[in-house]
Amino acid sequence: MRESPLARILFAVYVALVVYASLYPLAGWRDHGLPLLAYLSAPWPRFVTGFDVAANLLGYVPYGFLCVAALYPRVQGGAALGIATLSGLALSLVLEGAQSYLPARVATGLDVLCNVAGAALGALAGLALVQQLLEEGPFKRLRAAFTPGVEMDIGLALIALWLFTQLNPATLLFATGDLRDIVAPHETRAHAPVFFAAIEAFAAGANLVAVALVVSALAAPGARVRALFAALVGVALAVRTMAFAIVMHAEHVFAWLTPGAQQGLLAGLAIALAVVELPRTARLGLAAVLIMAATVLVNLAPPNPYLAASLKVWEQGHFLNFNGLTRLVSVLWPFAALGYLIFLASRRSRETPG
């Protein structure tokens, strides 16, 4: 039985995401003069919504599952369950305590109980499924389609994060790297709809081709790259549709499929299926260029007026913390991908005899 570096990478990434989501928006810190865990002795909130309970519980289910997967096969059974549950408890206690120093957050013992319950449920699911997934199930077959090695696992984690960015309905299709909310006010002059459509089409198409090139660079010799890429696109579109289904009414779940998105999707698919046959060095270089160009254009694109009103609940309501999390990942993804492509290119050049 082999350990899974990918499971450990995904677990570390998920812990980082949980920390950020728990402390978002990371502003307004103040010292209330009480111990870190003083909130545990405070009364529970008088008004508790089902959404809050579900969010706190479900948010830690992947934590427990990935913790068990990261420990496997060195630690299994009751020991793995105990470590996943107790580490989830420790993480929740610290993060809830840190929330008490944020005016926009409320730390409660109920949240800790929900988090621990979620971690325990995830760990139980991990105990039941992780051996099958890692040793003989579809996860093992999928991992076998890619080149072995920790550096390839990092690339697969980047692909998983790219899928995660599709959960933010406020971004253009497949687009990442919008820095305007961080470095400058979001002010743009009016443009004709055709201008917005052209930018949306290029951003969607360029990012789609870049992701296809990354997948082809990770794939093992003889793997069906086009089939892997087609499956990835299908999952990404399903995630996108799910994001709109959660935020908007059922009749608007395909609001993301604008004329610009359609053009970019079709052109990106056609080009991607052709360029995956290029030499590996050319694929890495082209992927980097496309990611940089698409990121520049995303920061030049005017805001989409058609979604602004509908997405207020996403930006200000129950999904405030999740919105901040998806936005962070979306902002950082192209720069992480560029660094990873540079790493792959430099590693390849060192392996090639001079």
Domain boundaries, the chain: 5-143, 146-351
Q: How far apart are CA 20 and CA 40, in angstroms?
A: 22
| 294-323 per-residue burial string, b: 16 or more CB within 10 A, e: under 16 | bbebbeebeebeebeebbeebeeeebbbbb
- More confident call, 91 vs 314: 91
Whole-model pTM? Answer: 0.87
Beta bridge partners of 146: 219
Distance of CA 25 to the CA centre of its chain: 18
What pLDDT score was predicted for residue 316? 47
User: Could you tell me if 224 and 273 are in contact, meaning their C-beta atoms sit under 8 angstroms apart?
Assistant: no
What is the pLDDT confidence band of residue 95, given thresholds at 50, 70 and 90? very high
Q: Which residues pair with 177 in a beta bridge?
A: none
pLDDT value of position 233? 96
Burial class from Cβ neighbours inside 10 Å (0-12, 13-18, 19+) for residue 118 reads buried
| pLDDT score of 354 | 43
Residue 179 has pLDDT above 70, yes or no: yes
137-157 mean pLDDT: 89
Residue 114: the pLDDT is 93
Band (pLDDT 50/70/90 cuts) for residue 305 is low
**pLDDT of amino acid 253:** 81
Judged against a pLDDT cut of 60, whether residue 343 lies above it is answered with yes
Q: What is the DSSP-derived secondary structure letter of residue 133? A: I
Q: Could you tell me the pLDDT band of residue 188, with boundaries at 50, 70 and 90?
A: low
- Rounded mean pLDDT, 33-38: 80
